[in-house]
Copies of this chain bind each other. A is one copy, B any other.
Amino acid sequence: MKPIHIGLLGIGTVGGGTYTVLKRNREEIARRAGREIIVTMIADKDLEKARALADSNVIVTGNAHEITTNPDIDIVVELIGGQTIAKDLILEALAHGKHVVTANKALLANHGTEIFAAARAKGVIIAFEAAVAGGIPIIKALREGLTANRITWIAGIINGTSNFILSEMREKGLSFEQVLAEAQKLGYAEADPTYDIEGIDAAHKITLMSAIAFGIPVQFSKVYTEGITKLTGEDIRYAEQLGYRIKLLGITKRVEKGIELRVHPTLIPVRRLIANVEGVMNAIVVKGDAVGATLYYGAGAGAEPTASSVIADLVDVTRLHTADPMYRVPPLSFQPDLLSDTPVIPMEEVETSYYLRIQVIDKPGVMAEITRIVADNHISISALVQKEASDESDQVSVIMLTHLTVEKNINAAIARIEALPVVNGKVFRLRIEELNN
């Protein structure tokens, strides 16, 4: 059987890892795929770097189109990133009848519909296991492993950088800024960490998982996104005292009104397995009506873990490209002409429970005023703790946990609480997920 010929676009961290692992495990991978999978071309703007990495028989080019249009290339692996050049190259490769493997979550979360349609039109495969949660085969689990189920929700720690920051803040009692600086030094956070710490990266990933789980189109613009930059050590400590750990979660849920799609720091019970996923590791819990809750854990980033997913896709394509293109595994698991138009509901309509930290002047009647407002907004309180002021000031923190309520109710209550003369500054609000049903 003749080998499968791969053209690699981009030879950065993941590209380099893919090349290295494919070479190191070449024999074992061939025994699984039934034929050899060989990188025959590499395109990168840094020709020197590409040549230093590649064996002498690999064609290195600065012109990616030489790969996407090359009749000898079977699969194009896009690891350039970004949404402009990468998109053009993927569409070009698909148009030339090549299967495409990509790790580009931002591109697919924004332009997945167009790209999936282009692949289908040519009867080729577009695969993207590496786009979500690095080495964890979560796309495969959702798209193939759990197809019996009506999925009810997914909750995932899907950004290693922010999970590392939260773990360090809790374990070492450091501030967000201190840990971010440490993470940048260790290479766990980029010079511009916005995508990670503001939840955008997680939002890309939950967009893809939501589409696969519920059979809806990718709709990145509909994700509610809130990062971890405003979290204080105080909140992490208070949460622990109440039996919760704070994690940046990507959450998508099927409810009566539609689909919830959101990323935000979340209190989850410490006794849940996922609450104990620390450092740069990722984990995703998927709840299905038949299977119950399943959890998938592993490295969410890094050269070789991500390469592991890229290569799994290459093996999949090698094994399955001969199957009837109309019926073999669709990219979003559901047949593209059978996607649902169930709406993503606005954050205001989401029902969850809340953690509020309210800075108040310590005098009689304060609690009565606050609890009255809460009751007026049909919110019921599950815990209420007044924290001693740490200094001589007359200020204290009131921590309130609520039962389930609709986000717009809590917003209304917060606005009224903030208007109280005894309340100082903004009310700090986090959301709670019990992850139990």
Which chain B residues border A288 with CB–CB below 8 Å? 135, 308
Interface centre among A21, A32, A315 (most CB of B within 10 A): A32
Structural contact, B323 and A323, CB atoms closer than 8 A: yes
Structural contact, A290 and B25, CB atoms closer than 8 A: yes
Structural contact, B148 and A338, CB atoms closer than 8 A: no
Which chain B residues border A148 with CB–CB below 8 Å? 21-22, 25, 29, 307-312, 315
Which chain B residues border A304 with CB–CB below 8 Å? 289-292
Which chain B residues border A310 with CB–CB below 8 Å? 148
Q: How many residues of A contact B (CB 8 A)?
A: 69
Structural contact, A292 and B305, CB atoms closer than 8 A: yes
Which chain B residues border A296 with CB–CB below 8 Å? 294-297
Complex Cα gap A136–B295 (Å) = 9
Which chain B residues border A283 with CB–CB below 8 Å? 295
Complex Cα gap A107–B130 (Å) = 35
Question: Is A363 located at the chain interface by the 8 A CB criterion?
Answer: no
Interface residues in A295-340 by Cβ distance below 8 A to B read: 295-299, 304-305, 307-312, 315-316, 318-324, 326-330, 333-335, 338
Spot the interface stretch: A38-46, A82-90, A138-146, A167-175: A138-146
Give the nearest-CB partner of A325 in chain B. Answer: B322
Question: Is A13 located at the chain interface by the 8 A CB criterion?
Answer: no
Interface centre among A147, A298, A309, A329 (most CB of B within 10 A): A147
Structural contact, A319 and B312, CB atoms closer than 8 A: no
Give the nearest-CB partner of A30 in chain B. Answer: B338
Question: Is A31 located at the chain interface by the 8 A CB criterion?
Answer: yes
Give the nearest-CB partner of A307 in chain B. Answer: B290
Binding site for B on A (CB under 8 A): 1, 17, 21-22, 24-25, 28-29, 31-35, 129, 135-137, 140-141, 144-150, 215, 273, 276-277, 283, 288-299, 304-305, 307-312, 315-316, 318-324, 326-330, 333-335, 338
